[in-house]
């Protein structure tokens, strides 16, 4: 038998085999790890959160953008999208756990990306100086880059019947080809989410309009007429009745008259708007309504606006009236308040409403509750808060056994 | 309180039977008034007014076939002597302003009918109009301001913008509007953006809802 050490070829072969085994093992390990990572990321992608569950005036895409950011390990995600029939571009920027929404004119940010790239998914690295000779030297619109300080971005388009746009994953940790595929898939999902939101919004608007008309018609044609007839009949009965019965009938008639007024006002307020929205409406009428409410609830209502001739858009004036009616009714019914102070001020973009009462506060609550607290704990003036939320505003509550203070902010 | 003459003859019209019957009883409770006809729609009321020539016609504003305002127009057009009092559950500013403009003698909300109708009829028969200032004045003022605002705003639109609003109210998409006007979709969007700002609206639905009742003002 020949000694292996004596055969240098045998030694080389052995070393080669060992090296092959080592490389093969490393490759298998890499492929396995790659497969695990891919599987994990696909599982993450499949666990797409869909639209936000909490109601908001803005498109419900916060969870989706947070998910995309986590999946691609990026600190910021930008989405720019538009509806074919509207002259705006919607912009949503996810950063630091929240989303900032804005609306820009349709022409802002040009075509978003260079011509020829509109339907493509790509990586743009602005840290590399562009080659001016190259057709796609400027991949992303310069205004968009400057506005959102874009240095490096993975970007993919989405196009649906009701909306089209692009997602930009800003400063991603990795820019591999796999990530390009992921961005493409994410853009598709986001497009579906936005389209569902728009469809839902359209259906809700149409339903609300139909319901409003139906409700107004039903009240006008049904309840108001019946109340009018009942009031007339009671008047006739009172005329034939003795003194004692007459007093009771007249009291009932007065109650009916109050209800008639209230319902008529509701019908008037809910007519389909046919007026132009730029005419400012003074809040003076709200003060008159509050005096009526004070009489109705047997409490003192002080109303103050700064400036005294404070005006708001007509639709908002209507909402303010409803909000305050609700606040007064809450203060008396639940807090047994006898005095309510209401103050309204405004800045260029916001209306501030403060309602303070001397009642017993909100049962079971004490201290300061911000909008988020009220939402999470599901406490406080729920129906008032829901109305404010529909208008894109916030509510802050401070309550104690000595009374409640509600601060409402509404965007103008 | 004024006293109605004994010959006060009234034609009543309301499409709500329960109200009609109540009003008939209420008017009949005053021996000086006679309800000569109680009608369920505007056309029947006009026919009764033509044939029976009452002193007064008490009409609801919203009625089938002919509404109360159209009945009043016909009365005026044909020179009938009957004085018209409108009795309504709720009326828009536009309806109230138009009623005054057409020469209504009285306007009353149904919620006050039980207390005020007989007094109102007496006043009207005696030649006094019953147009409560707290009801009519704010409505007429609001309607006038609204019309002025509508004029001002439609006047602020260019003829191309007005044309575009009209096409949008017909339900055309931006693509179709662009084709119709021979411009690009981008140009249509720029026009729309300007129109939204001038009209104070934020979307196409609101723009269409505002423009539809004023379509005439948008025509070239």
Which whole-number Å values give the CA distances from A44 to A41, A157, A335, in the listed order? 5, 21, 49
Identify the pLDDT of residue A278: 44
Q: Is B174 at the interface with chain A, CB within 8 A? A: yes
Partners of A273 on chain B (C-beta within 8 Å) are: 209-210
Which residues in chain B (18-57) have CB-CB distances under 8 A to chain A? 18-19, 21-23, 25-26, 29
Give chain B positions within 8 Å (CB) of A279: 145-146, 149
Could you tell me if A125 and A152 are in contact, meaning their C-beta atoms sit under 8 angstroms apart?
yes
**pLDDT tens, position by position, B71-100:** 999 999 999 999 999 998 888 888 899 999
DSSP lists the bridge partners of residue A340 as A301, A357
pLDDT attached to residue A277: 45
How many Å lie between the alpha carbon of B143 and the closest alpha carbon of chain A? 9
Tokens standing for residue A229: 């007839």
A220 Cβ contact partners less than 8 Å away, ≥ 6 residues apart: A267, B62, B89, B90
Query: Whose CA is closest to A155, among A136, A176, A134, A170?
Result: A170
The pLDDT value recorded for residue A323 is 84
Size of interface A-B (CB pairs under 8 A): 124
Average pLDDT over chain B reads 87
Is the CB of B18 less than 8 angstroms away from the CB of A225? yes
Instruction: Specify the range with the lowest mean pLDDT, choosing from A76-85, A167-176, B1-10.
Output: B1-10
Least confident residue range of A33-42, B38-47, B86-95: A33-42
Q: How far is B78 from chain A (nearest CA, A)?
A: 31
- How far, CA to CA in Å, does A176 sit from each of A64, A121, A143, A150, A154? 22, 12, 26, 18, 10
Average pLDDT score over chain A: 84
Q: What confidence tier does A133 reach under pLDDT thresholds 50, 70, 90? A: low
| pLDDT exceeds cutoff 90 at A130 | no
Q: Nearest-CA neighbor of B11 among B44, B42, B57? A: B57
pTM higher than 0.90: no
Q: Is the pLDDT of residue A150 over 60?
A: yes
Average pLDDT over residues A69-91: 93
Which of A253-262, A311-320, B103-112 is the least confident region? A311-320
**pLDDT for A209 beyond 60:** yes
For every residue of A45-110, which 3-state class applies, written as one string? HHCCCCCCCCCCCCCCCHHHHHHHHHHCCCCEEEEEEECCCCCEEEEEEEECCEEEEEEEECCCCC
SS3 state of residue A366:
coil
So what's the pLDDT on residue A357?
92
Q: What share of chain A is helix, strand, coil (3-state, %, to 5)?
A: 50, 20, 30
B196 close contact with A: CB closer than 8 A: yes
**Cβ distance of A86 and B204 shorter than 8 Å:** yes
Helix (H, G, I), strand (E, B) or coil at A180: helix
Contact B193 A106 (CB under 8 A): yes
- Chain A residues touching residue B204 (CB < 8 angstroms): 85-86
What confidence category does residue A55 fall into, taking pLDDT thresholds of 50, 70 and 90? low
pLDDT at residue A73, rounded to an integer: 92
In this complex, the residue of A257, A268, A278 whose CB is nearest that of residue B111 is A257
Q: Which burial class, exposed, middle or buried, applies to A377 when counting CB atoms under 10 A from its CB (0-12, 13-18, 19+)?
A: exposed
Residues near A329 by beta carbon (within 8 Å), at least 6 away in sequence: A293, A297
* Range list of β-strands (E), A232-388: 281-282, 300-306, 311-312, 339-346, 350-357, 367-369
Q: Which of A221, A239, A273 sits opposite B209 (nearest CB)?
A: A273
Q: Which of B89, B109, B192 is closest, CB to CB, to A87? A: B192
Residues of A in contact with B138 (CB under 8 A): none
Give the least confident one: A169-183, A209-223, B46-60: A209-223
Q: Roughly what angle, to the nearest 10 degrees, separates helices B42-52 and B68-77?
A: 30
Residues A179/A154, Cβ–Cβ less than 8 Å: yes
> What whole-number percentage of chain A has pLDDT above 90?
28
Contact between A313 and B196 using a beta-carbon 8 Å cutoff: no
Tokens of B205: 């639905």
Q: Count of residues for chain B? A: 220
Q: What ipTM does this complex have?
A: 0.75
Strand partners, A398: A368, A405
**Interface residue B150 vs chain A (CB under 8 A):** yes
């Amino acid at each position: 038998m020949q000694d292996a050490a004596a055969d240098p070829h045998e030694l080389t072969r052995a070393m080669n085999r060992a090296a092959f085994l080592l490389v093969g093992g490393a490759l298998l390990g890499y492929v396995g790890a790659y497969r695990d990572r891919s599987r994990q990321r696909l599982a993450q992608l499949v666990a797409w959160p869909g639209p936000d569950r909490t109601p908001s005036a803005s498109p419900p895409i916060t969870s989706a953008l947070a998910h995309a950011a986590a999946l691609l390990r990026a600190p910021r995600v930008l989405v720019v999208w538009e509806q074919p029939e509207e002259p705006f571009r919607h912009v949503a920027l996810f950063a630091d756990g929240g989303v900032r929404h804005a609306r820009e004119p349709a022409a802002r940010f040009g075509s978003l990306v260079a011509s020829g790239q509109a339907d493509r998914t790509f990586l743009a690295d602005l840290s590399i100086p562009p080659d001016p000779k190259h057709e796609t030297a400027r991949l992303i619109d310069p205004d968009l880059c400057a506005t959102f300080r874009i240095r490096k971005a993975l970007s993919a388009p989405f196009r649906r019947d009701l909306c089209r746009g692009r997602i930009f994953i800003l400063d991603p940790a990795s820019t591999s080809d796999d990530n390009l595929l992921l961005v493409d898939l994410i853009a598709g999902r986001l497009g579906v989410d936005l389209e569902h939101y728009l469809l839902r919004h359209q259906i809700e608007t149409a339903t609300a309009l139909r319901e409003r008309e139906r409700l107004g018609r039903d009240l006008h044609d049904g309840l108001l007429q019946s109340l009018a007839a009942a009031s007339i009949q009671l008047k006739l009965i009172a005329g034939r009745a003795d003194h004692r019965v007459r007093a009771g009938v007249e009291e009932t008639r007065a109650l009916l008259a109050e209800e008639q007024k209230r319902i008529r006002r509701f019908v008037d307020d809910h007519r389909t708007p046919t007026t132009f929205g730029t005419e400012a409406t003074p809040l003076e009428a709200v003060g008159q309504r509050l005096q009526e409410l004070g009489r109705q609830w047997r409490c003192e209502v002080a109303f103050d606006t700064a400036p005294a001739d404070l005006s708001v858009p007509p639709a908002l004036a209507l909402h303010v009236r409803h909000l305050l009616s609700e606040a007064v009714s809450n203060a008396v019914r639940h807090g047994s308040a006898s005095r309510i102070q209401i103050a309204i001020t405004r800045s260029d973009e916001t209306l501030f409403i403060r309602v303070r009462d001397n009642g017993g506060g909100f049962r079971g609550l004490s201290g300061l509750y911000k909008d988020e607290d009220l939402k999470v704990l599901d406490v406080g003036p729920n129906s008032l808060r829901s109305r404010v939320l529909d208008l894109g505003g916030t509510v802050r509550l401070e309550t104690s056994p000595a009374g409640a203070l509600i601060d409402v902010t509404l965007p103008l | 309180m004024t006293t109605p003459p004994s010959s006060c003859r009234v034609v009543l019209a309301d499409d709500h039977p329960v109200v009609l019957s109540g009003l008939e009883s209420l008017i009949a409770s005053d021996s000086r008034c006679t309800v000569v006809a109680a009608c369920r729609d505007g056309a029947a009321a006009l026919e009764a007014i033509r044939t029976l020539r009452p002193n007064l016609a008490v009409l609801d504003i919203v009625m089938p076939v002919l509404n109360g305002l159209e009945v009043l127009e016909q009365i005026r057009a044909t020179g009938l002597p009957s004085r018209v009092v409108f009795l309504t559950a709720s009326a828009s500013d536009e309806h109230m302003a138009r009623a005054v403009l057409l020469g209504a003698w009285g306007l009353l909300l149904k919620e006050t009918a039980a207390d005020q109708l007989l007094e109102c009829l007496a006043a009207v028969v005696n030649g006094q109009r019953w147009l409560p200032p707290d009801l009519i004045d704010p409505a007429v003022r609001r309607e006038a301001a609204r019309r002025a605002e509508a004029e001002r705003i439609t006047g602020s639109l260019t003829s191309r913008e007005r044309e575009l609003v009209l096409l949008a109210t017909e339900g055309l998409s931006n693509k179709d509007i662009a084709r119709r006007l021979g411009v690009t979709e981008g140009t249509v969007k720029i026009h729309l953006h300007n129109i939204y700002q001038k009209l104070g609206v934020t979307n196409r639905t609101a723009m269409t809802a505002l423009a539809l009742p004023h379509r005439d003002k948008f025509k070239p």
